[in-house]
Amino acid sequence: MPRLADIIAVLDGWFDPRWAESWDAVGLVCGDPAESVERLLLAVDAVPSTIRETLSTSSQLLITHHPLLLTPVHGVPADDAKGALVHRMIRGGVAHFVAHTNADVADPGVSDALADRVGLQALRPLEPHADEPFDKLVVYVPTSDAQRLIDALAAAGAGAIGAYDRCAWTVEGIGTFRPRLGAQPTIGRVGEIEQVVETRVEMVVPVGRRRAVVDALHAVHPYEEPAFDLLAARPVPGRRGTGRVGELARAVPLREFVAHAAATLPATVGGVRAAGDPERLVRTVAVCGGSGGSLAEDARRAGAEAFLTADLKHHPAVEAVTERGGDGMALVDAAHWATEAPWLDAVAARLRETLGTTVEVRVSRRVTDPWTLHAPSPESSETTE
């Protein structure tokens, strides 16, 4: 049975806390990392109903997308609404972990799950984030010591590319040098020209691991003065980022896409609404789980014919319908909770694959969307122009 710390390590690997916005509150809210976890529950929100569900299922861990303590607090007294929830979890032996904006920009992340749910393919980030900056290390070492050096550099953080580690490129050549007076050469004699069969080793180095990698190089390299270069590379847009753009299998009228979104997303009182010509064809669609209205122009520039997100405001919708006319991009507005809930199933599947049968993984089906009542307007003879 894994410890809480083991599960956190898995989640942090998928949703690195360094990717979270500066204002966000992600990570472990309460709980002992040394405790074992037999059952866990995934939910969008840490609210009384999902905490009750966590306790009723005898789960030791509640993982949510939205932070319980997003607004900074100086204490969590039991007579405070949020403090009472924290106390209830602690008394019940429940740990609470949050992956929020770090999960929004992950690959795969919240918007990937939303895109998959509505049937989009060939996904790309709507607002790409640059990959972590890295350097290129080039070092020359006697061939007999090359593998030992690569091992040491990899242990210090070099050579990690995606799901692979200890990545290195090597080629053999002849190194030449002449030790001067005062040198203490490992190979050769002072004042004499020496030639050695050496291996050129190249490995990528994350910027944050520069010092550790260089220290490892000096510690393991057999030469008194190792020859190496650390070349800075420019970051390039990667697979991470906010939102996704993809393609439907075929072009469909906006009316049909909206009905499809309403049928495939978790049901809410508000359902799904749209701004745009109901009969216009859409195939390229942008999505953003949660409040993505600020990315509308990014979606338009990406060639999207419709943009599905939540919490859209009046003026952008008016512009989509009136000012941009038939050439404008349609806006599709769903409930905030409904656009993020598909991520729970995606994370649950990954956890089951990673943890196997050691942990029972559940997804809460409780609708924590705050809107509880919707009264449709009476039919009107007025039409939108």
Strand (E) positions, 292-329? 306-310
Element (H, E) at 355: helix 342-355
- How far is it, in rounded angstroms, from Cα 290 to Cα 166? 37
pLDDT in tens, 143-195: 999 999 999 999 999 999 877 899 999 999 999 999 999 999 999 999 999 99
pLDDT in tens, 328-378: 799 999 999 999 999 999 999 999 999 999 999 999 999 999 999 999 888
At 366 the pLDDT is 96
**380 has a pLDDT exceeding 70:** no
Token pair in block for residue 143 = 């061939």
Sheet (strand 227-232) strand order: 169-177, 194-206, 134-142, 227-232
Contact yes or no for 176/192 (Cβ under 8 A): no
* Pairing of β 39-43 and β 360-363: parallel
Domains present along the chain, CATH in parentheses:
4-102+342-363 (3.40.1390.30), 110-129+241-339 (3.40.1390.30), 134-232 (3.30.70.120)
Q: Is 241 left (phi over 0), alpha (psi -120 to 50) or beta?
A: left
- How far is it, in rounded angstroms, from Cα 334 to Cα 346? 19
- How far is it, in rounded angstroms, from Cα 364 to Cα 366? 5
Q: Cα 353 vs. chain centroid, distance in angstroms?
A: 18
Token pair in block for residue 220 = 């393991």
> pLDDT confidence of 198, banded at 50, 70, 90?
very high
The total of other beta-carbon atoms located within 10 Å of residue 309's CB is 27
Contact yes or no for 311/291 (Cβ under 8 A): yes
Mean residue pLDDT of the chain comes to 93
Dihedral pair phi/psi, residue 184, rounded to 5°: -125, 75
Q: Residue-wise over 183-215: b if at least 16 C-beta within 10 A, else e?
A: eebeebeeeeeeebebbbbbbbbbeebbebbbe
> pLDDT confidence of 381, banded at 50, 70, 90?
low
Threshold 0.85, pTM exceeds: no
pLDDT in tens, 45-104: 999 999 999 999 999 999 999 999 998 888 899 999 999 999 999 999 999 999 999 999
Element (H, E) at 200: strand 194-206
Contact yes or no for 68/87 (Cβ under 8 A): no
